[in-house]
Structure 1
Amino acid sequence: MEHSRRQVLGAMGAGTILAGGFAVSSGRQRDDVTILAAGSLNDALENGLRSDVDVPLRIEAHGSARVARLVADKQKNPDIVSVADVALFDSPLSPKWFCEFATNSLVVAYNPETEGGRRVADAGSDGWYRPLSNGEVTLGRTDPDLDPLGYRTLFMLELATSHYGTDTPLREVATQRSRTYPETRLVSQFETGSIDAAVTYRNMAVERGYNYLELPPEIDLSDPRYADRYATADYELPSGKTVKGTVISYATTARDRRQSVVEVFETHATDDYLTDFGFAVPDKYPQYTDNAPDVFTI
């Protein structure tokens, strides 16, 4: 069952039940709202959400797997948690409810100022993998143990091997010939010339104005029609949890019922700033889990 946004937000407004933020005592009154979020959301939150709300925000961004682990291990206690993979709300986090609010796709961004980047551009969406396979390109990616972009990159490369019919497994090539960076620093490596290309989320390329190649929907993890195909790829996290390829979906949950949190959550999950920063928002979103609060509306 899907719940309306107003039902959920109404229930959240019932009263404070947890101390929000990154550590305050229960019952303490404060206006600021803390958000611990996926690195790919950082720019949208800092430069979109922040200006759309009247509440002071404290935003901290990391790879989503790290975000989940910081909360699960009680190292962080934010008001709102937002991750780039809904699977992380099954484990290591297990919130009572959450909301899926945006989607994304994988693209290959490239640096037109380097020879390797120009080779990727010349190869186009149908041949970008060839200069990678030939060792002509320095590829940037993120750590699959720390964030979903990292393991989704591996999923895409595995799917691309069969899609393009390459002789060499692209996932194997990439792990041998690529450089790994934190999600929040990946695309900025273009500015230093450290990498020629990077597998990244579309929104990250769009919001920074970088050149990129769209990938076929069969491998870009954006199209529900290919969900079964995506699921053939998997990765085992250090925790022992195995994650499978799925359609990219961002999810968020609120852990405090203060009115300020309600207001920020509403804008975070529904406002137009998301599409302004390169995310896609399907008509069915936001979409809530069955056990989302629905005590009353506001």
Structure 2
Amino acid sequence: MGKQRRETPHRSRRGFLRTAGAAAGVALAGCLTSGRPATGSPVTVLAAGSLQHALETGLKPAVDASLRVEAHGSATVARLVAEGQRDPDIVAVADTALFGEPLSVPWYAVFASNAVVLAYNPDTDGGERVEAAGSDRWYEPLLAGEVALGRTDPDQDPLGYRTLFALELASRYYDDAPDLRATLPARDQVYPETGLLSQFETGSVDAAFAYRNMAVERGYDYVELPGQIDLGDPAYVDEWYSTVSYELAGGRRIDGGLIGYGATIRTSDGPARAVFDRLVAGSYLADSGFLLREQFPRYAGDVPAAVDTATGGG
């Protein structure tokens, strides 16, 4: 298969930063809604959990408007808007498929990519085993039950089902690996995306499947997975990523693909447009460990002229 190996574990700077209604089609209609009711009220962003740190520490200081960020798993974000439980100015998710269902948006911007990695705590015995195994044998200590593993719920956020995709692809990539998707996942490994890596501090897990940016932002060590597995390399979409899928609890099938973060704006308000512009085009994303490409932001659908002018997209 022309396998290529990447660097074994990535050594990062330890301790750097610890720290889906009432008619969704109307809520996210083709025309932007009216402006905010009161002057000076904050711009609200409902975002994927993996974006929270970057929005709070990178975007918020870079905009003039007051910004309020609420983060959940992307499937939860989409459900909250679709059911009318939230009415944010901006919606940002980790999988643009959610803009088709349960949300029905006329347009969105794709603004970042990511990669699945195996983050670990080298201060634990299990973490040491993951580190020693590296990118060639990382699954062996997991199979041996020597590592307390964390992951997220595939029915709540894309990282959850992308973890399952990575496990299935790994079984194809490594000649001697068993069916990792059938063998490794267990219910007691599941944590909310927004608190996954904090489990390192509590001692609940030794390692966790996470997005690259989540490890980079928090200064955690991680094993960088091969491109055929990590869902972050455009070269492997057709022959690798597109061959895996997951059926959500509601019966909808999600097909594998390149990781893509998308955002849409739901108000014509000037401050919100300015925030949206910086959100989809700010260099803070690279600083937080997201993968950026020259074509970002890339737009899909019927982009309103006001947004097109504000962001330079189209």
TM-score, normalised relative to structure 1? 0.90
Tell me the distance in 2 between the aligned counterparts of 1:151 and 1:16.
32
| Letter paired with 2:247 | E
Q: Does 1:208 align with 2:208?
A: no
Distance 1:56 1:159, change over 3 A: same
Residues 110 and 117, structure 1, Cα contact 8 Å, conserved in 2? yes
Determine the structure 2 residue equivalent to 1:135.
Answer: 145
**Aligned residue pairs, count:** 278
Equivalent of residue 188 in structure 1, options 187, 198, 207: 198
Determine the structure 2 residue equivalent to 1:272.
Answer: 283
| Letter paired with 2:33 | I
| Letter paired with 1:172 | A
Residues 138 and 178, structure 1, Cα contact 8 Å, conserved in 2? no
Q: Does 1:46 align with 2:56?
A: yes
Q: Deviation at 1:170? A: 0.6
| Letter paired with 1:17 | T
Tell me the distance in 2 between the aligned counterparts of 1:19 and 1:31.
11
Q: Per-residue CA shift, 1:102-132, capped at 9, x if unaligned?
A: 0100111111111111000000001000111
Give the gaps of 5 or more residues in structure 2. 1-30
Q: Per-residue CA shift, 1:25-68, capped at 9, x if unaligned?
A: xx554431000000000000011101001111111000000000
How do 1:1-298 residues align onto structure 2 when only pairs under 5 Å count? 17-18=33-34, 27-176=37-186, 179-228=189-238, 229-294=240-305, 297=309
Tell me the distance in 1 between the aligned counterparts of 2:188 and 2:244.
20
Q: Per-residue CA shift, 1:2-44, capped at 9, x if unaligned?
A: xxxxxxxxxxxxx972466xxxxxx554431000000000000
Residues 228 and 236, structure 2, Cα contact 8 Å, conserved in 1? yes
| Letter paired with 2:128 | R
**Residue identity (%):** 54
TM-align CA RMSD: 1.6
Residues 101 and 286, structure 1, Cα contact 8 Å, conserved in 2? yes
Q: Per-residue CA shift, 1:215-255, capped at 9, x if unaligned?
A: 00000001111112111111111222110111000000000
Tell me the distance in 2 between the aligned counterparts of 1:138 and 1:235.
24
Give the secondary structure class of the aligned counterpart of 1:205: helix
Q: Deviation at 1:176? A: 3.1
Which is further off, 132-141 or 38-47?
A: 132-141
Tell me the distance in 2 between the aligned counterparts of 1:124 and 1:167.
15
TM-score, normalised relative to structure 2? 0.85
Distance 1:238 1:177, change over 3 A: closer
Tell me the distance in 2 between the aligned counterparts of 1:18 and 1:139.
46
Task: List structure 1 runs of 4+ shifted beyond 2 angstroms.
Answer: 15-20, 27-31, 165-168, 294-298
Give the secondary structure class of the aligned counterpart of 1:107: strand
Give the number of the structure with larger relative contact order, counting CA–CA contacts within 8 Å between residues 6 or more apart: 1
Tell me the distance in 1 between the aligned counterparts of 2:70 and 2:176.
40
Tell me the distance in 2 between the aligned counterparts of 1:147 and 1:177.
15
